[in-house]
Chains A and B, each alone.
Chain A
């Protein structure tokens, strides 16, 4: 299995923020969702991949090529979307297309027109009259119109209504019918990631907490609930974090089988959503810092 993206021990420091030894791989042919709270480092990671932010240490390989030495070759095959699209506001989509298209050898007008149609975007209206959602859709249409092998998106679904979000996820799934394509997207709309991603990488405070398949995440994490009498120093350790209430506790277990051995039938086990997983990891981060 080849990797579309390989990040090894990536470090980058700003005043008051550090990416620390970030490592994860995205195999070719899959979608990876990058999740984490605001300020976790998602955008910094994406910008270092695109070499818009200079890394300080570590290595990044895209299609197996060094992201700095082979930058041009790589970027021809990448489509990217940023959370705030930066296009000339006085241009309309037709003019914008004429600006962007010549950069890509593989630009395909049929794909572009088809996407505009799906997203119901007007060709002749200047972008400054677009709503935030329309701007985002335009940005996505541009990113997807040159048969990119690797699509990188930073918060592509923010500002989109639920109907368009689904439409976009459908477009992504359509792209994934080709097993040579890969997608990396960050989002804090966890339902998008739950619906679309094959792999989930969770970052918090500049560190990768985990990077695994969605099935692994679904099968290992669980919310455990029970009476406070079940909690003691050793059983509390089995949780990522736990909240004690007046009538019982609720905790996130990273290994549901281990928890079942400890608490048996006395506790209740529920599927943990990505939101639960993020929430409890955040609790843990807060308590350790």
Chain B
């Protein structure tokens, strides 16, 4: 897990933690069931208040990204379908972005690209 906190950023620190952990869960850098550091450990490492890390975890838990098991710790939640779909969509979008950039570099028009996509898509049916 990687978290970089900026004290100069106008975004509250707990939100910085939330969004960075979320990104890593969606990109599968943090896998389902992976253990997260305790709120006290994270506070110590990031040199921030325990209250801030607690708030970040509470937020992530509310949104269903992580689960806390009393006495065991905090883990990346087993993803629900909607979340998983969002995650996959994100990954497709990322790949398509690369594809579009490549096409643009080669001067391929949108229509031509759409045509290729249509052929490839229907070919598999």
A contact residues vs B (CB 8 Å cutoff): 29-31, 173-174, 176-177, 179, 195, 197-199, 213-215, 218-219, 271
Contacts and interface: CB of A to CB of B under 8 A. Distances in A.
A184 B51 CA distance: 16
Contact of A173 (B12, B14, B43, B51): B43
Given A219-B12, A271-B10, A214 B41 contact: no
Given A176-B40, A177-B40, A179-B40, A215 B14 contact: yes
B5 to A, nearest CB: 12
Report whether over half of chain B's contact residues are helix, strand or loop; otherwise say mixed: helix
27 contacts: A30-B50, A30-B51, A31-B49, A173-B43, A173-B44, A174-B44, A176-B40, A176-B50, A177-B40, A177-B41, A177-B44, A179-B40, A195-B47, A197-B49, A198-B49, A213-B49, A213-B51, A214-B51, A215-B12, A215-B13, A215-B14, A215-B49, A215-B51, A215-B52, A215-B55, A218-B12, A271-B10
Report whether over half of chain A's contact residues are helix, strand or loop; otherwise say mixed: mixed
A219 B14 CA distance: 11
Given A215-B12, A219-B12, A173 B49 contact: no
Contacts, number: 37
Q: With a 10 A CB-CB cut-off, give which of B13, B49, B55 has the most chain A CB atoms.
A: B49
Contacts of A30: 50-51
Interface of B: 10, 12-14, 40-41, 43-44, 47, 49-52, 55
- Top 6 A-B residue pairs of the complex, sorted by shortest distance between their CB atoms: A198-B49, A173-B44, A198-B51, A213-B51, A177-B40, A214-B49
Contact of A29 (B14, B47, B50): B50
B44 A176 contact: yes
Contacts of B14: 215
Q: With a 10 A CB-CB cut-off, give which of B10, B41, B51, B55 has the most chain A CB atoms.
A: B51
Contacts of A213: 49, 51
B121 to A, nearest CB: 48
Contacts of B10: 271
Given A30-B51, A179-B40, A218-B12, 11 more contacts: A30-B50, A31-B49, A176-B43, A176-B50, A177-B40, A197-B49, A198-B49, A198-B51, A215-B13, A215-B51, A271-B10
A65 to B, nearest CB: 24
A198 B50 CA distance: 7
A172 B47 CA distance: 11
Contacts of B12: 215, 218-219
Contacts of B49: 31, 197-198, 213-215
A195 B47 CA distance: 7
A18 B49 CA distance: 32
Contact of B47 (A173, A214, A218): A173
A198 B47 CA distance: 11
A183 to B, nearest CB: 11
Contacts of A29: 50
Nearest to B44: A173
Contacts of B44: 173-174, 176-177
Contacts of B47: 173, 195
B9 to A, nearest CB: 10
A174 B43 CA distance: 10
Contacts of A195: 47
Nearest to A219: B12
B15 to A, nearest CB: 11
